[in-house]
Structure 1
Amino acid sequence: MDGNAHLSIGELARRTGVGVKTIRYYSDRGIVAPAGRTAAGYRFYGADAVARLGLVRTLRELGLGLDTIRQVADQEVPLPEVAAAHVEALEVQIRVLRLRQALLAAVAERRLTPEETDLMHQLARLTDDERRRLVDDFLHAVFDGLALDGVARNLTPEPPDASDPDLARAWAEWAALAQDPEFRAGLRRALRGIAAEQPRGGVPRRDFTAAVRDLVAPALAAGLDPASPDADPVVAAITAEHGRTDGLIPRLQRFNDPRRDRYVQLLAVINGWPAPESLAPALDWAAEAVRVRMA
């Protein structure tokens, strides 16, 4: 193109694909200045306006503001420095968007109420110190006065990197569950039962729910009906593990809380532990097997 060519605003719009109104706006902002005006007062542009508009359009599509674009186009600031700053800003925006995506997915999957959604959003935005205080408060509420240090360690989350959307989502759901007074009270009751069953000064007893899981696993794998006579030895072993004949069904029910299963699943995500196996199928089978024989 002739370097001295004069382009009308309409011709410039056709060559660049940028609308006339937009070019006029850019002109008024000093971003793509006209080369002059005709005798009739119409703006005209030089050949360099085509390349300049191309640069402006590219930078706008990349999200730069008009003032910054003008500075870059006028070579007042180096484009690499501007790009580096915008990369950093975009990384923050991407983390925020990923967190929003993760939380919205949790809302959809868990069918959360507006109140629960707001709580999860607030919890996901806590600082590291606030997260640690929340964990400490939860542990104090459910373990205070109970000699169950090993259990406490196994139920303690490490506040995760908030920039990871999956971890942030798991953390927010964990924190919402840990703040639920009903969940806290139920877990506290279960833990008191565990503490009461531990011998004083002796070797700690095997975890009852783990024992039930191991005893019932073969029956579940074989598809054994809880009411079948073939299940009698399994029920006898569970009763022996319980240590007495009364209170077995309430004990099985006390540990069979879907929210506790969810707590452990979230804890595994947050701490990077292997995904735990749900205890519910084994506890359901055991409770039904015992109930049939007590009828």
Structure 2
Amino acid sequence: MTAPHTSDHPVSLTIGQLAQRTGLPVRTIRFWSDEGLVPSDRNASGHRMYDAVAVARLDLVRTLRELGLGLGDVRAVLTRRRGVGEVAQAHVRALESRIRELKAQRAVCVLLARTGTEPDERSVTLMNDLARLSAAERQHLIDEFVDRAFAGIPDDAPGAGIATGMRSLPAELPDDPTPEQVGAWVELAELVRDPDFAARCREMAVAGATAPEHRERLTDPAAVIEHAGAARAAGVAPGSAQAEQVLGRIFDGAVPDAAGRAAAADSVDLFADRRVERYWALLGVLNGWPAREPSVPAFEWFAAALRAQDSQP
């Protein structure tokens, strides 16, 4: 806005005239005047009057406010306690934070819109709250869970390195998170808050660190995934003669005796858990890792086949 004045007729406007010229409400101009942001004088009748300096100041205040600066920042700029550039830099950071928050909220809304059934109030609130957590708050949630699961286990213990991987959250949700990423984060947060899940991870961590013989009882995991996975997909019953042939391929012809089969099945039950595998899958969604087919169902079939064959006469 160009200050409305001429060299022959200095500006002297009432608050109503100033409001009409600027398009600002009278109450806004009055408030900014009362706050000392826009100078004004009083005429003989006691009415506020604004000169050219006041009009220019009003223009600046309006611009700064439209940019989202608070009254404190505006006052700091006007009194030259802070430069416009300094205030603008701080405001850029605040805007970027707000933009990330809005994008996360948008992704939550998209996720809710895609839901086939009506979500309950708790789910809606949880999605919104968790999506808006800061990176530090999200990482703290995961770190707290991992610390509980691996408490007291030496860093150099067998399998202890898995703790590092379990902490591998991305530093931030993407600037434009997909509904899938928001959903993955919400599910992951609920998972690590589940005491039963934490206890299960603790059981696996302790067993892996203190009982290395468990690992010796397991055959090649890749062979289990390949052969047991194919058998399961084909509908081969764990107790069938065909399942025995599958076990032979997994053990490369050296199928263990009854005691060895039972021990291997016990190890599978200890270390194969669908929720733990889901944890890794959710981290994958958040980190943009390539998706992998679940492997736990193949190990479940393998354990069932070991026990079924062992129980046959």
TM range (shorter): 0.5 to 0.7
Instruction: Tell me, yes or no, if the aligned pair for 2:191 and 2:197 is still in contact at 8 Å.
Output: no
Residue matched to 1:258: 274
Which aligned pairs between 1:114-153 and structure 2 lie closer than 5 A?
124-125=136-137, 135=146, 138-141=149-152, 143=153, 149=158, 151-153=159-161
Letter in 2 for 1:10: G
Supply the distance in 1 between the matched residues of 2:290 and 2:254 (Cα, whole angstroms): 27
* Structure 1 residue 80 displacement after superposition: 1.2
Residue 12 of structure 1 and its aligned partner are, at CA, apart by 1.8
Q: How far did residue 24 of structure 1 move?
A: 0.6
Please identify, of 41-50 and 177-186, the stretch whose mean Cα deviation from structure 2 is larger: 177-186
Deviations 1:111-170 (A, max 9, x none): 98899x999979953898x987975663345x569x952x32244337568852369x59
Gaps of 5+ in 2: 175-180
Distance (whole Å) between structure 1 residues aligned to residue 82 and residue 23 of structure 2 = 27
> 1:243 — aligned with what?
256
**1:123 and 1:271, CA in 2 relative to 1: closer, same or farther beyond 3 A?**
closer
The structural deviation recorded for 1:213 is 0.9
The answer to whether the Cα contact below 8 Å between 1:72 and 1:79 also exists between their aligned partners in 2 is yes
Q: 1:122 to 1:29 in 2, by over 3 A?
A: closer
Over 3 Å counting, the alpha-carbon distance change for 1:230 and 1:58 in structure 2 is farther
**Helix, strand or coil for the counterpart of 1:44?**
strand
Alignment-derived partner of residue 87 in structure 1: 92
2:11 — aligned with what?
Answer: 5
Q: How does 1:38-187 map to 2 (within 5 A)?
A: 38-73=43-78, 75=80, 77-91=82-96, 97=101, 124-125=136-137, 135=146, 138-141=149-152, 143=153, 149=158, 151-157=159-165, 163-165=171-173, 176=193, 181-187=198-204
**What letter matches 1:184 in structure 2?**
C
Alignment partners' CA distance in 2, 1:272 and 1:241: 40
User: Helix, strand or coil for the counterpart of 2:277?
Assistant: helix
Contact 1:256 1:283 in 2 (8 A): yes
- Aligned to 2:49, the other structure's residue is in SS state strand
CA distance in 2, matches of 1:289, 1:67: 72
CA distance in 2, matches of 1:20, 1:133: 54
How far 1:33 sits from its partner (Å)? 1.6
Give 1:13's aligned amino acid.
A
Deviation, 1:173, is 6.5
* Contact residue 148 and residue 202 of structure 2 kept, 8 A: no
Work out the number of aligned pairs and report it: 281
Taking the aligned partners of 1:61 and 1:22, their CA distance within structure 2 comes to 13
1:46 to partner: Cα distance: 2.8
Distance in 1, Cα, partners of 2:282 & 2:189: 10
Which residue does 2:178 correspond to in 1?
none
* One-letter amino acid of the counterpart of residue 51, structure 2: G
2:26 is aligned to: 20
Does residue 295 of structure 2 align to residue 279 of structure 1?
yes
1:224 to 213, 218, 234: 234
Q: Which residue of 2 aligns with 1:202?
A: none
Is the 8 Å Cα contact of residues 211 and 241 (structure 1) preserved in structure 2? no
1:157 and 1:263 mapped to 2: Cα distance? 11
User: What TM-score do the two structures reach when normalised by structure 1?
Assistant: 0.65
From 215, 223, 233, the equivalent of 2:245 is 233
Listed as ranges, the gaps of 5+ residues in structure 1 are 200-204
Give the TM-score taking structure 2 as reference length.
Answer: 0.62
Q: Is the 8 A contact 1:174 1:267 kept in 2?
A: no
Identity %: 34
Structure 2 SS opposite 1:152: coil
Call closer, same or farther: CA 1:13–1:70 in 2, change over 3 Å.
same
2:208 to 155, 172, 191: 191
1:70 Cα deviation (Å)?
3.0
Deviates more, 1:233-242 or 1:207-216: 233-242
**8 A Cα contact 1:209 1:279, kept in partner:** no
